[in-house]
Every structure is written in structure tokens, then in C-alpha cells.
Amino acid sequence: MHEKTLAELSQALQNKTLSSVELTQHYLKRIEQLDGSLNSYITVTAESALEQAAAADARIAAGNAGPLTGIPLAHKDLFCTQGQRTSCGSKMLDNFISPYESTVTQRFLDAGAVSLGKTNLDEFAMGSSTESSFYGPTRNPWDTDRVPGGSSGGSAAAVAGRLCVAATGTDTGGSIRQPAGFTALTGLKPTYGRVSRWGMVAYASSLDQGGPMARTAEDCALMLQVMAGFDAKDSTSVEQPVPDYSASLSDSLKGLRIGLPKEYFAAGLDAATSDAISAAVKQFQALGAEVREISLPNAELAIPAYYVIAPAEASSNLSRFDGVRFGYRCDHPADLTDLYKRSRAEGFGAEVKRRIMVGTYALSAGYYDAYYLKAQKIRRLIKNDFMAAYEQVDVILCPTSPTPAFKIGEKIDDPVSLYLTDIYTITANLAGVPGIALPAGFANGLPLGMQLLGPYFSEARLLNIAHQYQQVTDWHQRAPAGY
């Protein structure tokens, strides 16, 4: 049953050819058998999953089920789940049992979905490989010597390894799209403000956005339908009606204008990925789309701007982890300063500390204008680039990363080369626009990803385009050997 998509399993549950308890047991068993090699889960909540499954079966029997009722999912361990450990992949929160439920996970509970557990991530979502987790690296099911991408690498590996039907992720600089590309999944980063951030532990508040990771665009549509919507508890949440994302999946692509940013097809892009996208362009043309070259002239400034803004916000967001009220506290602090210093020095990993240092520096008196303010100006320019581009085209097509999944350990000691893997994804976060990543081919057995970026609140259109592409291709149907 794990070869089926969310949409197919939903049908099976509704038709009662399958029960949620059976399905949940099946996935729990797979996790037990296979996750030892992947390390995609930090916490497996078997007991509550089976209770939820039983409740879902009752709900289906009573006839008041929705499409997600009874579907076993996994949540990135950045979403607070009441009564369960919410670790953020950090030693700092290894002992943290959340006293409340995030809006996103609450919506899934309300929809009757089953949660199998919490997935691994780069510590506090800071990374592109899921190697910086306190709980060890997650491995890519397509090649377990390789990373699954990050920071939502646990969710990516769990969905790709068929250890859950679909999962939630969060995307601050590409953390949904890049791992989706590395594992042949479909992953959507919604418009900033589309999905509530209440209960989603903040990395960089102005960039963070939760979204779905699944096997197909159709599945992502079903997931987003649950996640999206205004939340009075999040002041940056946007009060905008949520369309029926499944309703427009079958719309024609005739007349669709696709732009290829020339800056993204220059030096540094892996040839196989470039070829895969060229092939995808032909597919889109065959589906009736027009493709033209466009320019995002300030794209090259995105990485430096991101690595000022995100660490600046992070340095402030992570100040609350001080050993006073929750989380890790050092042994026998001599005094208050010692409590702060050692709790934070011992509780945070290297990459988190690096970003706190960078961000603290960028916000310091005398440097603020040169770094933070300048980065904000670049952010404005990048946003303007997108607005100008969307006057010429409906969506932008580009790679999700310069290369396919790299080897574990290959880049971990070279932070800058690791930062560069986000070069194609970061701009969407800086501009706040939505993007969907989907598989575009394979090279040497490794998935190649591409992404479509659209204007604000164009999620329905992006899902429609991805779905139409998936009607004429089968990359998304391939499963990694042994899973």
C-alpha cells in the first residue's frame, strides 16, 4: 500500500477497502524496518498514531471524513505538537515537551490525519543537508551515502522512502524545494503569510513558511488545502480566501507563459540538470505553454543578502534559549553569565552558533547600515525583479539546486559551498513568492529537481502546472530501490 499516493490512499480509505489502522500499522512497521538506515524520524509516536487512526476509521464510518482523514503523515520537528518532544534537531530542545499545538499540526488533527512522528532537520532549520542535526544526519533513500538535502531532509527522506504518505516541511531559503529536488518529490513553498507560523519554531521570521512535501502535485494540493488560511494568532498571516487547490489541477496550460531566468542557466549549473530542464521546457511547450528568456538581474545578490537577514533574525529569535525557562541548562552554573554562556555553548551546534555570531555582528551598532539595511535594500530590488518578470510571464522555471544530492560530509566543513547550494531557491523567500519543486529527471540514479515560481497567491496555478507535467511524465512515480 505504500506505493500508492495520498490521493489514491484517500480513495481507498473512503471506499473502506483499507482501514487507517491497517495503513498506520503498515507505515509504523516500515519505519521500524527501514528508518535505521535513513534516520528520517527523530520521534515516532506509534501509540498516538494508532489512536488517531482508530478515531479516523470511526470518522470515516460515520461519514464525516475529509480527504486527509486517516492518512499517516509526518511533521518536521519544528512544528510544536502538544505533549510531545519538539526538538528542532537541537540538543537545546532535546528535553522540550511542547505545551501547545502549532496551527498547522492542529489543522491536520482537525482534518483527521494521523501523525506518525516528527522528522529530522538541520538544527533549527539552519542548513541544506540535514547533517547539522543533534540526532545525526538523515540519509537519502536514493543513495544512502548522500544527503537528502535540507533543512526538511527528514521529511523528504521519510516521504521518498515511503515511511509516510506525505509530510510537512518549512522553507526559509529552499528547505522544502531543495530536498524535494534531491529526493524526487513534489514540494511547495507557499506565499509568505499563506500558512500560519504559530507554533512553527522561528528561524528567520520574515522568510519562514511552512508547506507540504509529497509525491505528487495532486497530493500537495490536498495537503495545502488543510494547511493554508488566515490565523489571528500570526500577525503576518494574510486574510485572503483559500481556493480549492484540487479543482484547478486539470486546467489546460494552453497560453501559459513560462520565463527562464538567464542568470540561473549560467556557469555553475550541473549539465545533467540543465539538460533535464531543457527537456521539461519541451514538455511544457507540447502542453501549450510559451517559453521565453527573462532576467532577474539582482539574483546574484540573493545569497549575501539572505546570509545577513536570516542570521540577523535568527540571532534575535534564538535569544530565548537561555537555560532559564525551558530547554537545555548547563550543570552547576556559577552565576547568571555562566548559565547563559555554557547553556548556549553546550546546547547549540556549530552552524547555529555561526549564524548567531554572523547575525549579531550584522545588527551591531556601526554595522547595521552596512549589512542589515543594505541587505533589506537588496531584498526590495529582488522583489522588484520578480514583479517586473511577472509582467512578462506567468511563472518562472529554474533548477532547485546547482547539482543533484551530494555526499554526506562533502560540504559540511565548507559552509560557503553549502550556502551556495541554495542559490536558486533563496530569491523566492526574499521576495515572499510561492514556488513548487518537482522531479525533472535522473542522472546516475540521482533525482534532478526543477521549480516553478509564481506571483503572490498563485499556489493553485503552480499546482496545476506541476500536475499537468506529471500527467505526461513519470519521474514522480519512480521509487528508490529497496523502498
Partner 1 sequence: MQWEIVIGLEIHAQLTTASKIFSGSATTFGAEPNTQASLVDLGMPGTLPVLNAQAVRNAVKFGLAIDAEIGMTNVFARKNYFYPDLPKGYQTSQMDHPIVGKGYLDITLEDGTVKRVGVTRAHLEEDAGKSLHEDFHGMSGIDLNRAGTPLLEIVSEPDMRSAKEAVAYAKTIHSLVRYLGICDGNMAEGSLRCDCNVSVRPKGQTEFGTRCEIKNVNSFRFIEKAINTEVQRQIELIEDGGKVVQETRLYDPNKDETRSMRSKEEANDYRYFPCPDLLPVVLEPSFIEEVRGELPELPQQKRERFESQFGLSTYDASVLSASRELADYFEQVQQTCGDAKLAANWVMGELSSLLNKEGLEIEQSPVSAAQLGGMILRIKDNTISGKIAKMVFEALAAGEGDSADEIIEAKGLKQVTDSGAIEAMLDEVLAANAAQVEQYRASDEAKRGKMFGFFVGQAMKASKGKANPQQVNDLLRKKLEG
Closer by beta carbon to partner 1, 379 or else 467: 379
| Residues whose CB falls within 8 Å of the CB of residue 186, separated by 6 or more in sequence, listed in order | 180, 213, 214, 215, 216, 217, 219, 220, 436, 437, 438, 439, 466, 470, 476
Residue of 19, 20, 40, 76 with catalytic role: 76
Instruction: For the chain, state the CA radius of gyration.
Output: 21
Stretch that binds partner 1, among 3-11, 97-105, 138-146, 378-386 (CB under 8 A): 97-105
Among 325, 331, 369, 481, binds partner 1 (CB under 8 A): 325
Residue 269 φ/ψ, nearest 5 degrees: -90, 130
**Looking at the DSSP assignment, which residues form a beta bridge with residue 350?**
none
Check residue 97 for interaction with partner 1 (CB under 8 A): no
Could you give the string, one character per residue 352-391, with x where binding to partner 1 holds by CB under 8 A and - elsewhere?
--------x--xxx--x---x-------------------
Residue of 40, 115, 132, 151 with catalytic role: 151
With beta carbons less than 8 A apart as the criterion, state whether 183 and 140 touch: yes
Closer by beta carbon to partner 1, 198 or else 386: 198
Check residue 240 for interaction with partner 1 (CB under 8 A): no
With beta carbons less than 8 A apart as the criterion, state whether 400 and 406 touch: no
> Which residues from 115-134 bind partner 1, rule CB under 8 A?
none
Stretch that binds partner 1, among 13-21, 157-165, 321-329, 403-411 (CB under 8 A): 321-329
Stretch that binds partner 1, among 217-225, 315-323, 442-450, 457-465 (CB under 8 A): 315-323
Q: How far apart are CA 461 and CA 105, in angstroms?
A: 25
- Give yes or no: 16 in active site: no
CA angle 227, 302, 294 (to 5 degrees): 90
Could you give the string, one character per residue 199-238, with x where binding to partner 1 holds by CB under 8 A and - elsewhere?
xxxx-xxx-------------------------xxxxx--
Check residue 316 for interaction with partner 1 (CB under 8 A): yes
Q: How far apart are CA 233 and CA 107, in angstroms?
A: 14
Give the torsion through C-alpha atoms of 60, 63, 68, 74, to 10 deg. -30
Closer by beta carbon to partner 1, 22 or else 346: 346
Q: How far apart are CA 202 and CA 209, in angstroms?
A: 10
Shortest distance (Å) from residue 337 CB to partner 1: 9
Strand pairing category for 41-44 and 114-119: antiparallel
Among 198, 348, 390, 457, binds partner 1 (CB under 8 A): 198
- Give yes or no: 48 in active site: no
**Looking at the DSSP assignment, which residues form a beta bridge with residue 214?**
186
Closer by beta carbon to partner 1, 39 or else 86: 86
Grid coordinates representing 282 are 519541451
Shortest distance (Å) from residue 347 CB to partner 1: 13
Shortest distance (Å) from residue 80 CB to partner 1: 5
Residue of 10, 20, 133, 175 with catalytic role: 175
> Which residues from 390-449 bind partner 1, rule CB under 8 A?
none
CA-wise closest residue to 126 among 314, 308, 312, 305: 314
Among 33, 61, 99, 370, binds partner 1 (CB under 8 A): 99
Sheet bearing 166-170, strands edge to edge: 41-44, 114-119, 72-76, 166-170, 210-214, 186-189, 435-443, 446-453, 395-399, 257-261, 290-294
Closer by beta carbon to partner 1, 97 or else 387: 97
Task: Annotate 127-168 with DSSP letters as a single string.
Answer: -SSS-S-TT----BTTBTTB---SSTHHHHHHHHTTSSSEEE
Strand pairing category for 186-189 and 435-443: antiparallel
Shortest distance (Å) from residue 213 CB to partner 1: 20
Give the torsion through C-alpha atoms of 78, 81, 86, 88, to 10 deg. 0
Check residue 312 for interaction with partner 1 (CB under 8 A): yes
CA angle 44, 478, 155 (to 5 degrees): 25
Check residue 93 for interaction with partner 1 (CB under 8 A): yes
Q: How far is CA 212 from CA 159, 226, 293, 313, 470, in A?
A: 11, 10, 29, 24, 17
Check residue 472 for interaction with partner 1 (CB under 8 A): no
Check residue 88 for interaction with partner 1 (CB under 8 A): yes
Among 102, 155, 216, 225, binds partner 1 (CB under 8 A): 102
With beta carbons less than 8 A apart as the criterion, state whether 101 and 81 touch: yes
Stretch that binds partner 1, among 65-73, 98-106, 246-254, 381-389 (CB under 8 A): 98-106
Shortest distance (Å) from residue 6 CB to partner 1: 26
- Give yes or no: 175 in active site: yes
Shortest distance (Å) from residue 112 CB to partner 1: 23
Stretch that binds partner 1, among 38-46, 164-172, 323-331, 403-411 (CB under 8 A): 323-331
* Residue 311, helix vs strand vs coil: helix
> Which chain residues interact with partner 1 by CB under 8 A?
79-80, 86, 88, 93, 96, 98-100, 102, 197-202, 204-206, 232-236, 312-313, 315-316, 318-322, 324-326, 336, 340, 360, 363-365, 368, 372
Residues forming the active site? 76, 151, 175
